[in-house]
Amino acid sequence: MNRLPERLGEVIDRGTTLSFSWNGQEFSAFAGDTVVSALAAAGQRVFSRSFKYHRPRGLLTASFHDPGCMVQIGDEPNVRGAHRLVTDSMVVTSQNTWPSLRFDVRGANRLVGRFLAPGFYYKTFIRPQRLWPTYERVLRQFVHAGEISPDTRVEHRSTRFAHPDVLVAGGGPAGMAAAVAAARAGARVLLVEEEHQLGGHLRYVGSPAELAELRTEVTASGVEVLTDSVVLGRYDQNWLAVLQRGSGERLIKARARVLIVACGLIERPYVFAGNDLPGVMLSTAVRRLINLYAVKPGERAVVLTANSDGDAAVRDLLDAGVEVAEVVDARSGGDILRAHGRRGLRTVELPGGRRIEADLLVTATGWTAPTALLNQAGDVPVYSAAAARFLPGGKASEDVLAVGGLAGDGTLDELRAHAGAVGAEAARRAATHRYRQLTRTPTAVAGRAPVGGPIEIPDLPVHEHPALFRAKSHGMVDFSEDVSSSDIHLAVREGYDSAELAKRYTTATMGPLQGKLEMVNAIAMVAEATGRSVAETGTTTWRPMYAPVTLGALAGRTVQPVRRSPMHAWHQANGAVPLVAGQWIRPDHYGDPAAEVRAVRTAVGIIDVTPIGKLDLRGPDVPKLLNLLYVNKWSKLAVGRVRYGVMCAEDGVVLDDGVTGRLGPDHYLMSTTSSGAAAVWEWIENWLQTERPEWNVHVTPVTTSYASVNVAGPRSAELIGRLAEGVDLTDFEYMNVRTARLAGVDGCVLWRIGFTGEPSYELHVPAGYGLHVWETLLAHGEDLGVRPFGVEAQRILRLEKGHLIVGQDTDGLTRAFSAGLDRLVKLDKDDFVGKPELLWQHDQGAQTRLVGLQPVNGQIVPPEASQLVAADTTRIVGRVTSSRMSPTLGRSICLAQVEAALAGPDTEVTVLLPDGRRIPARVTEHLAHVDPHGARLHTAGTPGTFRQHPPPVARSPIRTAAHAVGGSPNAALTLADHSALAKVVVRAPHAKAMAASLGVPFGRAARAADGTLVIGAGPGEWLVLGPADSGDGLLKQLRRQAEEVGGFVSVVDLTHGRAMLRLTGDRAADVLASVCAIDLDSDFTPNGAALRTSVATLVTDLVRDDQQGVPSYLLHCERSSGQSLWDAVLDAGAEHGIEISGEPTPSPEE
């Protein structure tokens, strides 16, 4: 056993013994031991075989970045064995060794080493190319990467957003001093340390008392400390990726106002023959082993020292009872020549030829500055020949500062004083930056501007250090890639004579260590081979990631939000086959789409069309807007009428279509395609905000405020009559709109329109009642043969009727005249979007036309996108855009885009099927295959008489597991469904009369005297919340208020359009920090703050509304995403013990 008696400052807990296995053999460890320290204590010296030559490898650095200590733990490959702590019953194996670590047959590679020179694989396996699959299979056996198991459990790693004023990367003495100084100056500080404890090199070189004092200061100053964590990369504006290891990796996305880089220095290996033999170690490695883990690193040592750390290592070795056979002092010209041994070091050969028996060779020949984060901040580190290392170039942006060994040398006191000044200055810069941000953030209360000028930062000395890179023999430069100094010399001889080229050709610095140990040596070898200096040779760029990270941590939670209609649960329960359309889940069909089509044609069918985009338009200038955006005319649309319209983009390409109805003098309801809803809304806002800001129009998206159901078929009027009150159905012609009470639900909007070609009613029902109306339709229509139909039946029905689908029968090049819209486009209008292009298309004639098409053999359905070709040639003259078998006609029917010359009725064209067959097809006279003159549409039949129905029940969009509700009223962290609250949106000019009357500015929320919560939700936009069922009263009151103040104000009820939840508890902000990138600190988001942002990728309004002093947040999003938001917050809250509170609300399943 190599375990030493207790050491002052050791990190192992001798009171707790753990057992683990290594390659099948049982070992014991103390708590705090790394895998490799425990094995080294038990006398193991070889932990892996090298990448290319399968040379035995042992300890080199005894840190995370030890190239020879990668092991497999359970099903986790490539674990850094000199960093990972032992846990009880851990199963550890060596990687890429066969048949065993001790005897690896592929070690024979070392005998053919001269054939494995750089470029060996490129040069050897390039020909013949057909043999590559074989080569690949064989070469795969030599890859050094452990094994992954396909059975590995899928874990979702949570992420977290952090907003520190100062983030300190590195928790050594300088980092700790900087963090403490910054925190004392009032900054919120996050201190990130890669090791398991704070302290850096002080842990194994300093006095434990001094370290304890620094740690106490860190704790006392309120710094947040993350150990076993690392800053992976720095991106623009100090966006930092921080990896928190420990149990399951977690990515922290931090936006730091100032970054302090305190990474310290990494000891550099020396290049000589045999420098990778087990037993050759860096001075920091032996000091870690002795002082942290109480492991005796060897019995008889030779030490090559060029600095005081090497000298100190000699003292530590003697103290640990190691016999020091020889100290070779490089400062006085001493050197070693090579190391000998097979499975480990046996003798050290000095330049004169003298050999010294030893099992340990310790080198202390200089340092590498890991300047990665500085490089990523725009700095170009410069090589100091005197110090033999790179130093900061001073070009980093001003929000990035360096302290500690990276910045210079000096005594511990000098380094601490420097870091303290930098920390204080960082806090000052952060405070200035923070104040600037607070003054620009409407939710925040800025407070007073920070005072005080820059803090003077003392200069750090830079000590001279001998430039030692290589002995008079060749050895390893890159230990993880098996690249030797002679390989780099060869690469230079072959012409790869710059550092960037030689690196890529030899793969030096490209292995798992990414240059941390080998970068300077590699540059020095290129310099040596080219006869240039290291400074002339330059450096390579340090890119993110600085340390390895699992893909799982980068991915975080990958759940995609899903949108559901209020009838979603009914569809699920009734055998609907789901269709994912964008974010929506819709019923494709309920088993037999053809039967669904027949039901619509002969009786009546109902389809859930909730995803259809719906925009509430209010204001005197709506007709101007419609005239501008649609290609047809809108000035004369009477109240109670609806009209079909098509929008084009400025290039004349068809953008979207839908119907718009006029509900009142200044009130319109626009519908859009389901997939175009968001884009059309943005399109309208774009025109209103940037081109026509003088127009008085308010647009409110109400897509999910309403559940939409299309009731279609010859018996539809009969069915509607059984539900409708307050509307005269006998005076309700095609292309009209009415409001009515349906099955007891007020405020329903009915359109007489149809996509199916049958008489039909499109019902828009306040969404909470959607399921009630849906079920009532089915119950009351049972004797009429009512049947739910899905998207597939609807697609067949509309194809029979020849209605185009934008994006299906048109593409990104289809202008209006190519889409059969000739009669709709009104070129005599002064202006409309896309008019010039359409004018030119009209003058030149459309190149392609949309036509109806029927294959001569009606049993063949040409797949969509089949090409139309000119007879007997392969010249493409068009394509099939839609095709189905028509259950009504009993034959196949299509829509097609075809060259204008071939678009005449009865023209025969050839369809080239994917299997190569050519079939004839004939262009039809009309786009519609069924009822081309629309006779059916106007024969609505006799409306039925009203029937009694069950009382309406408003459902919440959120389904809460019933057993989880009301778990514990006193839980520290609760989530409640508040979707039932009345919600009314008020739109009025920002900062005008109505704003004054409501008394709440954008970004803030406040309770009115009557208890309603008034939220300044947007510029010129307020949301007023009242108790459930108070919606009508609230609406009336706000409309009265609007009339009193005058001016252009609109008031829209959104009660049914929003899902709302409340998250309450002292840890509520921590929960949100994993799904929301907003700084929830009380300066930025105090009680009463209101903002809109992205929460779990959903656009969400967030209002801080504390409850009796406990932080509480109202979150609301559009209704159909409510369940996704609820699930995401519950998921994020799981680790904080979240519970569901409140009364169970009626949900779609009940």
Partner 1 sequence: MIQLPCPWCGPRNVTEFRYAGERTPRPDPGTATPRQWRAYLYLRRNPCGVVEENWYHTAGCRRFFTLHRDTASNAVKETR
Please tell me whether residue 239 binds partner 1 under the rule CB under 8 A: yes
CA distance 959 to 1097: 20
| C-beta of residue 180 within 8 angstroms of C-beta of residue 268 | no
Task: Give the type of residue at 337.
Answer: L
Q: At its nearest, how many Å lie between partner 1 and the CB of residue 1020? A: 9
- H or E, element range at 658: strand 654-664
CB 760 to partner 1: min, Å: 34
Residue 317 tokens, joined: 């070795």
Which residue of 26, 398, 831, 906 would you call a contact of partner 1, by CB under 8 A?
831
Which regions of 81-226 does DSSP assign to beta strands (E)?
A: 90-94, 159-162, 166-169, 189-192, 224-226
755 or 1084: whose CB is closer to partner 1?
Answer: 1084
Closest CB to partner 1 among 652 and 952?
652
440 sits near partner 1 (criterion: CB under 8 A): yes
**Least distance (Å) between residue 835 CB and partner 1:** 5
Name which of residues 651 to 680 contact partner 1 (CB under 8 A). Answer: 651
- The span of 683-691, 733-741, 935-943, 1041-1049 binding partner 1 (CB under 8 A) equals 683-691
Number of residues in contact with partner 1 under rule CB under 8 A = 35
- SS3 track for 7-35: CCCCCCEEEEEEEEEECCEEEEEEECCEH
Cβ closest to partner 1, residue 378 vs residue 1047 = 378
Least Å distance, CB 220 to partner 1, is: 32
How far apart are CB 477 and partner 1 at their closest, in Å?
36
CB 610 within 8 A of CB 1120: yes
What does DSSP say about strands 25-31 and 48-49: parallel, antiparallel, or unpaired? unpaired
Enumerate residues 960-1019 that contact partner 1 by CB under 8 A: 1002-1003, 1018-1019
Rounded least distance, CB 985 to partner 1, Å:
12
Per CB under 8 A, which of residues 1036..1095 are in contact with partner 1? 1077, 1091-1094
Longest dimension (CA), the chain: 114
926 touching partner 1, by CB under 8 A: no
Verify binding: residue 582, partner 1, rule CB under 8 A: no
Distance (Å, rounded) from C-alpha 823 to C-alpha 550? 59
Nearest distance, CB of residue 840 and partner 1, angstroms: 6
Pair of tokens at residue 324:
């020091």
Among 319, 323, 536, 691, binds partner 1 (CB under 8 A): 691
- Alpha-carbon span 315 to 175, nearest angstrom: 27
- The minimum distance between CB 846 and partner 1, in angstroms, equals 17
CB of 985 closer than 8 Å to CB of 1026: no
Stretch of residues binding partner 1 (CB under 8 A), selected from 172-180, 571-579, 716-724, 830-838: 830-838
β-bridge pairing 166-169 and 258-261: parallel
Q: Is 192 exposed, middle or buried (0-12, 13-18, 19+ CB in 10 A)?
A: buried
Which residues, at least 6 apart from 400, have a Cβ–Cβ distance to it below 8 Å?
A: 234, 238, 258, 259, 260, 261, 373, 374, 377, 379
Contact of 54 with 505, CB cutoff 8 Å: no
Separation of alpha carbons 949 and 331, rounded Å: 98
**Which residue, chain included where needed, has tokens 């059309």?**
680
- Residue 260 or 1096: the one with the smaller Cβ distance to partner 1 is 1096
Query: Residue 937 Cβ, how far from partner 1 at the closest point, in Å?
Result: 35
Kindly indicate which of the ranges 272-280, 442-450, 739-747, 1131-1139 contains the residues binding partner 1, using the contact rule CB under 8 A.
442-450
According to the binding rule CB under 8 A, does residue 1099 interact with partner 1?
yes
Q: Mark 890-914 as b/e (b = at least 16 C-beta within 10 Å).
A: ebbbbbbbbbeebbeeebebbbbbe
Q: Please answer whether residues 278 and 59 qualify as being in contact, where contact means their C-beta atoms are separated by less than 8 angstroms.
A: yes
Asked if residues 193 and 227 have their Cβ atoms less than 8 Å apart, the reply is yes
Q: Is 827 in the site for partner 1 (CB under 8 A)?
A: no
Q: Which is nearer to partner 1, 691 or 782 (CB)?
A: 691
Smallest distance from the beta carbon of 678 to partner 1, in angstroms? 9
Asked whether position 813 contacts partner 1 by CB under 8 A, the answer is no
Region 207-236 residues binding partner 1, contact defined as CB under 8 A? 235-236
Query: What does the alpha-carbon distance between residue 818 and residue 814 come to, in Å, rounded to a whole number?
Result: 6
Q: Does 525 bind partner 1 (CB under 8 A)?
A: no
As measured in angstroms, the least distance from the Cβ of 754 to partner 1 is 33
1075 touches 1100 (CB < 8 A) = no
Binding status of residue 541 toward partner 1 by CB under 8 A: no
- Residue 832: CB minimum distance to partner 1, A: 8
Closest distance of CB 689 from partner 1, Å: 5
3-class secondary structure, 1111? coil
Question: Of 255, 842, 992, 1039, which one interacts with partner 1 (CB under 8 A)?
Answer: 255
Q: 20 or 1113: whose CB is closer to partner 1?
A: 1113
Beta strand pairing call for 25-31 and 13-22: antiparallel
Identify whether the C-beta of residue 646 lies closer than 8 Å to the C-beta of residue 630: yes
Phi and psi at residue 184, in whole multiples of 5°? -65, -25
Binding mask 833-872 for partner 1 (x = CB under 8 A): --xxx--x--------------------------------
Q: Which is nearer to partner 1, 31 or 446 (CB)?
A: 446
Rank residues 115 and 840 by Cβ distance to partner 1 and give the closer one: 840
Given 136, 685, 728, 1149, the residue binding partner 1 (CB under 8 A): 685
**Judged by CB under 8 A, which stretch of 144-152, 439-447, 703-711, 878-886 contacts partner 1?**
439-447
- Say whether residue 578 binds partner 1 (CB under 8 A): no
Segment interacting with partner 1 (CB under 8 A) among 54-62, 435-443, 565-573, 912-920: 435-443
Q: Does 446 bind partner 1 (CB under 8 A)?
A: no
Partners of 478 in the beta sheet? 483
Element (H, E) at 684: helix 677-686
- Of the two residues 215 and 1092, which places its CB atom closer to partner 1 in the complex? 1092
Tokens of 333: 């010209």
Question: Which amino acid belongs to residue 143?
Answer: V
538 makes contact with partner 1 (CB under 8 A):
no
| CA dist., res. 192 & res. 634, Å (int) | 63
Binding-site ranges for partner 1 (CB under 8 A): 235-237, 239, 255, 437, 440-444, 650-651, 682, 685-686, 689-691, 830-831, 835-837, 840, 1002-1003, 1018-1019, 1077, 1091-1094, 1099
